[in-house]
Amino acid sequence: MTPRGGGLGWASGMSETSRMGSGRVFPALPAHPDPRAPFATSWWGNAWIDALEESALDQARLARGRTYAREGAVDTITVAPGRIVAYVHGNRPRPYRAEIRMRTMLPEHWDRFLDAVATDPARIAALLDKEMPHALADAADRADVPLLPAGRELAPSCTCPDRGHPCKHAAALAYQTARLLDADPFVLLLLRGGEEQDLLDELARRNAQKSAAEATEARRAGERRADPQPSSGEPPRGQPSEPPRGQSSEQSPEPPPEEGDGGPVLPGVLAREALATEYRSPLPAPLAPPPHPGEPPVLPALPGAPDPTALEFLITDAATRAHAFLTAAANPFPADASPWHDAVRLAASHPGLTGRRTFSRQFAELARAVGSTPAELSRASAAWRQGGEAGLAVLESPWDPPAGPFDRARGALVAADLPRMTIHRNHLTNAEGTLQLRYGPDGRWYPYRSEPGGGDWWPEGEADVDPVGALADVAQE
Q: What is the pLDDT of residues 185-200, one digit of tens each?
A: 888 888 988 877 777 7
The pLDDT value given to residue 334: 67
Q: Helices marked H in 143-242 — which ranges?
A: 168-183, 186-191, 196-225
The pLDDT value given to residue 298: 72
Return the minimum-mean-pLDDT range out of 152-161, 331-340, 412-421: 331-340
Instruction: Report phi then psi at 85, rounded to 5.
Output: -135, 140
Contact of 445 with 408, CB cutoff 8 Å: no
Distance CA 329, CA 348 (A): 22
Which range has highest mean pLDDT (156-170, 282-296, 390-404)? Answer: 390-404
The pLDDT value given to residue 440: 94
For CA atoms 62, 68, 70, 75, the dihedral sign is negative
Contact of 391 with 381, CB cutoff 8 Å: no
- What DSSP letter does each residue of 19-61 carry, written as one string? HH---EEEPPPPP---TTS-S--SHHHHHHHHHHHHH-S-HHH
133-177 residue pLDDT tens = 777 888 888 888 888 887 678 888 888 877 777 889 999 999 999
SS3 category, 314:
helix
Distance CA 307, CA 304 (A): 9
457-472 residue pLDDT tens = 999 888 999 999 888 8
25-82 residue pLDDT tens = 898 888 887 777 888 888 888 888 888 887 776 777 888 888 899 988 999 999 988 8
Angle between helices 135-142 and 121-128 (to 10 degrees): 120
> Does the predicted TM-score (pTM) go above 0.95?
no
Distance CA 347, CA 384 (A): 9
Angle between helices 374-396 and 361-369 (to 10 degrees): 60
The pLDDT value given to residue 23: 76
Q: Give the residue from 179, 164, 149 showing the smallest Cα distance to 56.
A: 164
The pLDDT value given to residue 10: 38
The pLDDT value given to residue 394: 95
Contact of 348 with 324, CB cutoff 8 Å: no
Beta-sheet pairing, 74-80 with 24-26? antiparallel
Distance CA 102, CA 93 (A): 29
Q: Give the residue from 456, 303, 275, 316 showing the smallest Cα distance to 379.
A: 456
Residue count (the chain): 477
